[in-house]
Amino acid sequence: MTEDNLAPQTIPGPFVDVHIASAATICPIAGSLDRNSVLQAADVLDPCCDGWKRVAIIRTPGTDRISYGGARTPLTATLMFAAVKHRSGILSGHPDPNSGRRALGFVQREGNCALPANFTGDLRGPSRALPHFWEHTVGSGHATLGLRADWQLQLQRVHNELGMQHVRFHGLLSDDTGTLVCENDQFLYSYFNADQIFDFLLSIGMRPFVELSFMPSALSSGSQTVFHYRANVTAPKEYAQWSVLIRRLVNHWCERYGRDEVRQWFFEVWNEPNLTAFGSGKQSDYFELYRYTVQAIKGVDSALRVGGPATAANAWIDDFIAFCRGNGLAADFITTHHYPTDALGLPGDDTEAQLSASKRSVLREEAREVRKQAGDLPVYYTEWSTSSNPRDPMHDDPYAAAFIVKTVLEAHGLVQGYSYWTFSDIFEENYFPSVPFHGGFGLLNIHGIAKPSYRAFELLHGLGTELMKVVGAHATVDAWLVRGGGVATVLLTNFALPRHPITTESVRLSLRGAKPVSQATIQRIDSEHANAKPHWEQMGKPEYLSAAMVAELNAVSRLRKDAQPITFDDGILRVELTMPPQSVAAIALVY
């Protein structure tokens, strides 16, 4: 086997476990290789030399010594594995963002081997429009939560500070909202609670992204329910009666708020119908429900916007579009959901293991496929998050902030809306919690204390609307340059999935075409910045907080703006900084 003839292969295990937590010394090898020692042929990114190499990764049996073949120079180096499944003999790693090839490792020189992440940009160069699509909609749990004063206060804050324009929630048609009940064998329609919620939304400058769910018991064909509030998820026993409900409800809103207003809303049919947790899971059943629903809504006003299929895991897009076109039914937009742990999450899930088996930028790749399937139809992701587990400790950590910034900006150009699930821990799908930091989905905890995830959206909201090109690539660090309003912002993340290698990185950024700046500042989100949870842990993890404790944690959670050193020479502005693991930094250059 030579450098030019390395066939990809894996040698069946079992192998002796080779525990390489972060790095192992490796050496170049020459000549032929013992096939019994070869684990796999691979591409390895070697920034010390000349880029990508074709190598064979081998293990000396019974030792922790790893070697590689194919190096052109006698180089002693350090190989950083992205992931190693030792027992199966399979090595896997990160894809290179430029070539798309997958690196099993990253080769760095020994000694001072922490190479900086180098990025360049040109402030005079062309830009692309950056609409704040992530602010179109934000998620909440359950319609009747919208009647709570604390929920309303938090949503108004999310609108004012993060720019969120619509809110989506489950259960608008469920029994506890009272939209339709059966009393003494009579159907009683009551829109009072729904109106109270929508009145509030409009009063603060927001609108509903109306999820038409779940089934009123009076119309249901069965007794299957979901969530703590026991929402019925069966099909209607009479589709004609479901159609009457939808038509009467939508007509009422048009009369109350005016057709011009309601035409700016979005009507989404059901929630995740491909999962048996929310019904039969059968496509044919959902398509029948959609048929009756869209006909009822368009019967009120053909200009009202209706879409679906509201699926989990990017499912049914092609089939849904084909069904609508084949039956002459309107589909004004596409909705779907995705999570990097795509499944209906449950407390107790081993989310860390699920995420470790995921892929970097997996949500971007999924959104690209949905964008392709949707054609010219607008795409709205009406749920996404760092995981689908409602009790995931990482929801409360800086990990979530780095994931959010990277994922949002990678969705640029692919979607019209990207609704994070959810804005608040005032949420009761499983039970209503009292622990301040319990790993809930929310950007704000039950006391309204901002998590690192909230601050991530705060930084995103502060961006301009001109996205500039940035050149450079790194295993864990990503950089974006955004211009607008006399400010250029450099947004950086240092992110890796759980159990994947990550360390503090030196970052160097050079911006050509720069003018002297009047101010350069940095805001950070990491383990020591905008991160209230460790402070709560230092308090002894109290389950119930006093007003003084809430005030103290609010203060710790805030973003802090510090001066950022820069150098400026001959039209080139240079910035150097360090990025700890799972972190975000925003450098604002004011002209």
The torsion angle over the Cα atoms of residues 232, 237, 241 and 242, rounded to 10 degrees, is 40
Q: In what order do the strands lie in the sheet with 470-471?
A: 470-471, 117-122, 505-512, 572-579, 567-569
Q: How many helices (H) and strands (E) does the chain have?
A: 12, 32
Question: Catalytic residue among 135, 211, 268, 383, which?
Answer: 383
Q: Which residue has the tokens 């301009």?
A: 464
Of the candidates 164, 174, 248, the one whose C-alpha atom is nearest the C-alpha of residue 218 is: 174
18: three-class secondary structure by DSSP: coil
- CA distances (Å), 563 to each of 455, 457, 555, 588, in order? 19, 21, 20, 10
Q: Are strands 333-338 and 306-311 parallel, antiparallel or unpaired?
A: parallel
- Locate 564 and state its tokens: 């950022």
Check if the beta carbon of residue 212 is closer than 8 Å to that of residue 253.
Answer: no
Distance of CA 483 to the CA centre of its chain: 23
Give residues with Cβ within 8 angstroms of 80, minimum separation 6. 22, 23, 105, 106, 107, 108, 475, 501
Q: Does the annotation mark 383 as catalytic?
A: yes
Q: How far apart, in whole angstroms, are the C-alpha atoms of residue 585 and residue 564?
A: 11
The DSSP-derived string for 361-401 is: THHHHHHHHHHHHHTTS-EEEEEE-S-S-TT-GGGGSHHHH
| Catalytic one of 272, 410, 458, 505 | 272
**How is residue 379 written in tokens?**
């795409």
Distance, in Å, from the CA atom of 60 to the CA atom of 34, rounded to the nearest integer, reads 10
User: What is the residue whose two structure tokens read 């690196």?
Assistant: 103
Q: Give catalytic status of residue 458 as yes or no.
A: no
Could you identify the residue written with the tokens 């206060």? 153
d(CA 314, CA 338) in angstroms, rounded, equals 6
Count, residues in the chain? 591
The CA-atom distances, in angstroms, between 2 and each of 27, 31, 181, 187, 578 are 16, 7, 76, 79, 40
H or E stretch at 160: helix 149-162
The whole-angstrom separation of Cα 575 and Cα 393 is 33
3-state secondary structure of 434: coil
Handedness of CA 159, 442, 227, 149 (dihedral sign): negative
Helix (H) or strand (E) segment spanning residue 142: strand 137-142
Please state whether 546 falls in left (phi above 0), alpha (psi between -120 and 50) or beta. beta
Burial 63-74 (b: 16+ CB within 10 A, else e): eeebbbbbbeee
Which residues are catalytic, by number?
272, 383
